[in-house]
Structure formats: C-alpha cells, structure tokens
Structure 1
Amino acid sequence: MPISTVLFDMDGLIFDTEGRYKLCWQAAASEQGFTLDDAFYQGFIGVQDAQCEQMLLSHFGSRFDLSRFRRERDQQLAALSNKPVDYKAGFAALFQQLIAQDYRLALVTSSSLPQVRHHFADSPWLEKFEVVISAEDIANGKPAPDCYLLATERLGVTPAQCMVLEDSNNGMRAGIAAGCHAVMVPDLLKPDDDVRANAMAIVSSLLEVPALLSQANA
C-alpha cells in the first residue's frame, strides 16, 4: 500500500530542543542535591512529562521534592523561552516538498499544546498539519502506540499508509507498535537493538526522507 501520510514527532526531530530540556531538568534536580545523569535522562526522551516525573520519584525516593523540582525546572525553561528554538536541518525543505506532493501531514508529540504553539510561533508550519496530537489528547504516552493510532483515526487512514518520523527510541516503538513505517533520525539517542531491527530505516537527516518515500511508493 503506498505511503500517503507522514506523521512527525516534534522535539528533537523538527526542533533542536532536547539538549535544552535536558539541561533544565538536570539543573532542577541538582538544586536539590540529586544528580540526573545523561544515561538516566535518556529514558525520558519521547516520554510525557508526567511519566518522567514518576520515574524521578521512583529513582530518587521520598527525599525528592517533586513540587520543588517542577518549580525550578519550569523557571529554568521560562528563562530560555525568549530565545528562539532552531529548526533541525532539512525540515523546511522536506515539509515544503511533502506539501507540494500532496502528502497528508500530522504532528504527533508528547509535548503539551502550549509548548507546540510556542515553538511554532511566528512560522507558517503549524497550520499546515492536518491533525495535531499533543499530550492532552492521550492517556498513555509513547512508547504506547495510542498517539499514532489516534492520528491515523482522525485522518481516516490506515497505519500501513503512514510514515512516522522520530528521533527517540520510545517514539519509534510507538510508531512500530501502531503498525506504521517508522523512520528514525537520531538526535541525542542512538537506536536500540529492537528499534534497529524493526525500523523502516535509520537516517542521519530529514534530507534523506524524500528518497525513502520515492522508493516505498515506486
């Protein structure tokens, strides 16, 4: 079945935000005397904030003050909010090409809708997505397939008609479990063995996606 639809993750795929988020989360943990190292933080990538916070509580125990952590993290993020977030290489060219070729497009992110609107502010891209799925729309975040299944339902397409673009292992697992063609463009994470085995492709840049679509639809 030809691929007619492309489902985009957001953080780390469209926007170069993952490194910024990591520093804010690590600083907020450090403010309480806890060390949130890179290895543990990697498990947060592609996962909703509420799930990540529960992981912190389980990891650090009862001495960890989640309310205090949230305040500090949000202050750190707010301090960066006026600084523009860079688009990842190749996004604009890919997006314009997909629009010109009449692909249907959806945004499927673990971030909240206010975060989505903030990142896309002063750009024309957000309104070009036919469907936007954000954290508010689903109870079970990535790696559960719910977000991608909801996107296909709202678009009225089957998963087999969809290419998922993700930068994280959890996002890839969600797309694969939904039955989509999942392509990873790694950002902070390398693909895990299970993701590598089940991915349609693993590419170094969004610039490689048009060739994959051409091959799949040949």
Structure 2
Amino acid sequence: MIQAVLFDMDGLIFDTESVYKKSWQYAAREQELSISDDFYQHFIGVQDPECERMLVEHFPNHFDLERFRQVRDKHFSKLRANGIAMKPGFAPLFTAIKEKGLATAIVTSSHLPEVKHNFAATSYLPKFDLVITAEDVERGKPHPDCYQMAYQRLGYKDKECMVLEDSNNGIRSALAAGCQAVMIPDLLPPSPELVERTTILRSLDEVISLLP
C-alpha cells in the first residue's frame, strides 16, 4: 500500500529542463563549442558537478569551465526571471494526494535556493512533508541515496513509496532504492531496460488513478 509520493522537480513539476538546456547550449556556443541535443540528454537528472565533469572530458582542449559556468548561470537567471511554468496535472494530483492523507516529498538534484525560487509564486512548498536537495546527499541520481534518505526520514519502507520522475536517471535512482517507479517523460523517452519495471504515463494527472 502506497503511503508516500516522492516527486522529482525539474521536468516533472516545473518545465525547467528546456530552460536549462538552452542555457547550457548558449554557454557552449559562447566558447564556439556545441552541446548537441543528444549529448545534453546525458545531463538530465544528474547533478551539475557530474555534468560539468562530462563536459570537461567532452571538450578536452580550449574549454574554460569557470567562464562557462558564469555565462550559463547568467543566461539561466535571465530566462528564469520570466517565470517557470508548472507542468500540467500537478495541481489536481497534489490535491488528490493530500485528500487521501498520503505523505509527500520533493527529491531533486537541484539546490535548495532553486527549489525555493521555482515555488516562490505558489503556496505548495510548505505543504510538502520533506524536501531533499543536492545539498543533502554526496551521490546524486542515478544512485539511490536521495530516495533512500527520503523514505527513511518519512518513516516508511521502500515499497510504500511511489516515485514520480521524468528522467531515466531518476527512474534508475528510484528502482535502486526499491521504490515503486512512475515515469512521466519530458525531454527523454524511457530507456528500454527500464520499461518493464516502470509505469509510464503521459501526464501527472494520470497518476491519480494509481493512488490507493
């Protein structure tokens, strides 16, 4: 029986992945380099330090990481100033979860200030029972640490938690933690090796039918 629903944030609750992608690609072009759509897919659901490590390996010559960070972050802040749209279906799903008395958590690879900024225009953040961010774990997704920490802090067993994710790395993290995994794909389709162990849905409001 499901007792808690654990939410990823970027690409699941908010349409942030497309904004991140624009900023990473913009910062690469500023150095006359290119991050292809296919290569960017490796970054989805992964913490920034690991993504930056992959970039350094991908561009072994004439790549200024510090300059890249500054340009990327400035560009992202400019885009984000216009507001980040909430993904369709979140509001009715969250209402249904609360009506059923289930626990909720945000489990994200982003940092806490980014979480607070995204939710600033809404009243949702204080209603979550727990927030796990990049500051809380040494190993990010696809490692299971963040989801293990979430269900332990909530006081539930792994199988009592349903994880909602949009990325393959997020689903890998959820499955490795022993949780029930539901994927609502955003920029990436589900990886073939995950399909048999994962429920695939088209939108967040479809999750309502899975609630106990």
TM-score range, shorter chain: over 0.9
User: Do the aligned partners of 2:43 and 2:51 also contact (CA within 8 Å) in 1?
Assistant: yes
Structure 1 position 90 matched with structure 2 position 125: no
For residues 54-91 of structure 1, what are the alpha-carbon distances to aligned partners after superposition, in whole Å with 9 as ceiling and x for unaligned?
Answer: 01001111421100100100110121232111110000
Could you tell me which runs of 5 or more consecutive residues in structure 2 were left unpaired when the two chains were aligned.
none
Code of the aligned partner of 1:37: S
Greater than 3 Å deviation, 4+ residue runs: none
Matching residue of 1:206:
204
Asked if the contact 2:97–2:211 (Cα under 8 Å) also holds between the matched residues in 1, the reply is: no
Please give the alpha-carbon distance, in whole angstroms, between the structure 2 residues aligned to 1:162 and 1:113.
22
- Whole-Å separation in 1 of the counterparts to 2:60 and 2:136: 30
Please say if residues 90 and 204 of structure 2, whose CA atoms lie closer than 8 Å, have aligned partners that are also in contact.
Answer: yes
Report how many residues are paired: 212
Write the letter of the residue equivalent to 1:118.
Answer: H
2:78 alignment partner in structure 1? 79
Q: Match for 1:147: what amino acid?
A: C
1:213 maps to amino acid: L
| Percentage identity across paired residues of the two chains | 53
Aligned partner of residue 211 in structure 2, secondary structure: helix
Who is 2:69 aligned against? Answer: 70
Counterpart secondary structure, 1:198: coil
State the partner residue of 1:197. Answer: 196
What's the C-alpha RMSD, in Å, of the aligned pairs?
A: 0.8
Secondary structure of 2:196's counterpart equals helix
Alignment match, 1:186: 185
Task: Write the letter of the residue equivalent to 1:151.
Answer: A
Question: Who is 2:12 aligned against?
Answer: 13
Deviations 1:6-25 (A, max 9, x none): 00000000001111110000
Q: How does 1:1-218 map to 2 (within 5 A)?
A: 2-199=1-198, 201-214=199-212
Question: TM-score under structure 1 normalisation?
Answer: 0.96
In the aligned structure 2, how far is the partner of 1:127 from the partner of 1:113?
13
Q: C-alpha displacement at 1:42, in angstroms?
A: 0.4
User: Deviation per CA, 1:69-124, whole angstroms, max 9, x where unpaired?
Assistant: 00100110121232111110000110011111101000000000000000000211
Deviation at 1:181, TM superposition (A): 0.2
Q: What SS class does the counterpart of residue 16 from structure 1 fall into?
A: coil
Give the Cα separation in 1 of the matches to 2:176 and 2:145: 9
Counterpart Cα distance in 2 of 1:4 and 1:128 = 16
Gaps of at least 5 residues in structure 1 are: none
SS at 1:10 equivalent: coil
TM-score (norm 2): 0.98
Cα shift at 1:137: 0.4
CA deviation after TM superposition for structure 1 residue 153, in Å: 1.1
